[in-house]
Amino acid sequence: MLGTTVIVSSTIVPLMGGGNLKQREKAEVINTLLFVSGLNTLLQTFFGTRLPVVIGGSYVFIIPTVSIALSSRYSFLTDPNERFKESMRDVQGALIVASFFTMTIGFFGFWRVFARFFSPLAAAPLVILTGLGLYSHGFPQLARCIEVGLPALIAVIFFSQYIPHLIKSNRAIFDRFAILFSIVVIWVYAEILTAAGAYDNSVSKTQFSCRTDRSGLTSAASWIRVPYPLQWGRPSFHAGDAVSVIAASFVAIIESTGTFIAASRYASATPIPPSVHSRGVGWLGVAILLNGLFGTGTGSTASVENAGLLGLTRVGSRRVVQISALFMLFLSVFGKFGAILASIPLPIVAALYCVLFAYVASAGIGLLQFCNLNSFRTKFILGFSLFIGLSISQYFNEYLLVSGHGPVHTQSTWFNNVMQTIFSSPATVAIMVAFFLDCTLSYWHDSVRQDNGSHWWENFRSFNADTRTENFYSLPANLNRFFPSF
């Protein structure tokens, strides 16, 4: 969790302001995001999908958040700390409005209607690009400090794939703790390089990526600080900001759906019923509401890297994730401990992403076993949606980097942000294309349901059709009686 938490916070906090206090504010935002992520994970695993998924900060919300932070309405503010608080309040208000959109989509069953027409063929591009679509956070980030990142990648592969076969043991120690062993070994190695002065004369970009003492978070973080709602002040609301964040929350819904499917595969659960999909989206809306109330600067989504962790460790226990959420709450309250872990060089985290995101992508490839790959209809929908999903998102992202604005550049900033947010997400573009083609292309032919794999999921469309589904996804204490719409 710390990789995404640190990257998102390090991106948005300096743009919001902060001046000399930005390290303290960054540390507080990191601890707040970690605290809210722990709460949201507990809510999702108890009342949401009940899958062993972690709910954490999302990269999707960076585009509207940065747009708010760079707004000209803060130009009259000379105090960086005041500018930070003002922009954070605007982000909070936009997140609160977007949360009601997400809760409406989920709790009122709109996402259940969408999921009923979902097939393995349409789900495969979604899950594949949920993992592969984050490739820019993998090796490109790792290569910023290749002498630390590459050994970390080799260590993860060695500990997780080779050691368990070389050392025969009845207890799967290296299978379970490959991530921890790799981080500790490479972190100590990076600490030695830093202490030996290997980066003393390096450029600032290299020092930021490689050094273990570059963040300043440890000294800035408080020993004990409990995040609380409205800690930055009363939220403010702007219609344009709200619409931009609503678009980001829509993308978060889609990417979370892909993560839910991957997590269900690795947790050995039955295919997710449409009602459970909708229930999970509803509680994702509650998560975004908590993000807005506490002031994390970003919204929530199901953590892709933790879905990959299920495949790496082969531990699909809901209870393990809930205990991990308690650790997140502990580390966020005792800020020094969280700040020490947050000082892990980001190339080490990127090395983990190379493995974990790949596991999520392979879960999507596994869905193709339900499809008829000899059908040219299947080949076209699969190949076209994957190519277009990667191609369009790459075009939008490159255009933004080169021109400073997206290809959709009108007088309406909120409209530009909506288009940029939606079409820069590979998974979102892929599912829109695959779902549309699967529901319209030769849909009247009798062979379609056999080709796209719908007949394999037919028994799981209803919540009570299979006892395994009811046992796995049922709410605790028979809460289903009180929430019939779920």
Residue 54 to residue 325: CA distance in whole angstroms: 8
Tokens of 125: 């591009």
Residue 134 counted as domain residue:
yes
DSSP-assigned letter for residue 158: I
Residue 215 counted as domain residue:
yes
* CA angle in degrees (0–180, nearest 5) for 291-292-297: 70
Residue 485 counted as domain residue:
no
The model carries a pTM of 0.91
Residue 484 counted as domain residue:
no
Residue 39 counted as domain residue:
yes
Residue 350 to residue 149: CA distance in whole angstroms: 7
Q: Within 10 A of 297 (CB to CB), how many other CB atoms are there?
A: 29
Residue 64 counted as domain residue:
yes
**H-state helical runs in 70-170:** 80-107, 110-116, 120-132, 139-142, 146-157, 163-166
Residue 220 to residue 28: CA distance in whole angstroms: 9
Provide the β-strand partners of residue 55: 302
Residue 486 counted as domain residue:
no
Residue 233 counted as domain residue:
yes
Provide the β-strand partners of residue 81: none
DSSP-assigned letter for residue 130: H
Its domain, for residue 252, covers 2-478
Provide the β-strand partners of residue 348: none
Tokens of 300: 């929530």
For residue 153, give the amino acid letter. L
Torsion of CA 343, 346, 349, 353, to 10 degrees: 160
Structural domain count, the chain: 1
* Strand ranges inside 273-405, DSSP E: 300-302
Per-residue pLDDT of the chain (486 residues; tens, 9 = 90+): 777 888 888 888 888 875 455 567 888 888 899 999 999 999 999 999 999 999 999 999 999 999 998 888 887 877 888 888 889 999 999 999 999 999 999 999 999 999 988 899 999 999 999 999 988 888 998 998 899 999 999 999 999 888 888 887 667 788 788 898 999 999 999 889 888 888 888 887 887 788 877 666 677 777 888 889 999 889 999 999 999 999 999 999 999 999 999 999 999 888 999 989 999 999 999 999 999 999 998 999 999 999 999 999 888 889 999 999 999 998 888 878 777 777 788 899 999 999 999 999 999 999 999 999 999 999 999 999 999 999 999 999 999 988 888 899 888 889 999 999 999 999 999 999 999 999 998 777 878 878 888 888 887 877 777 777 877 888 776 565 555 444
Residue 289 to residue 99: CA distance in whole angstroms: 5
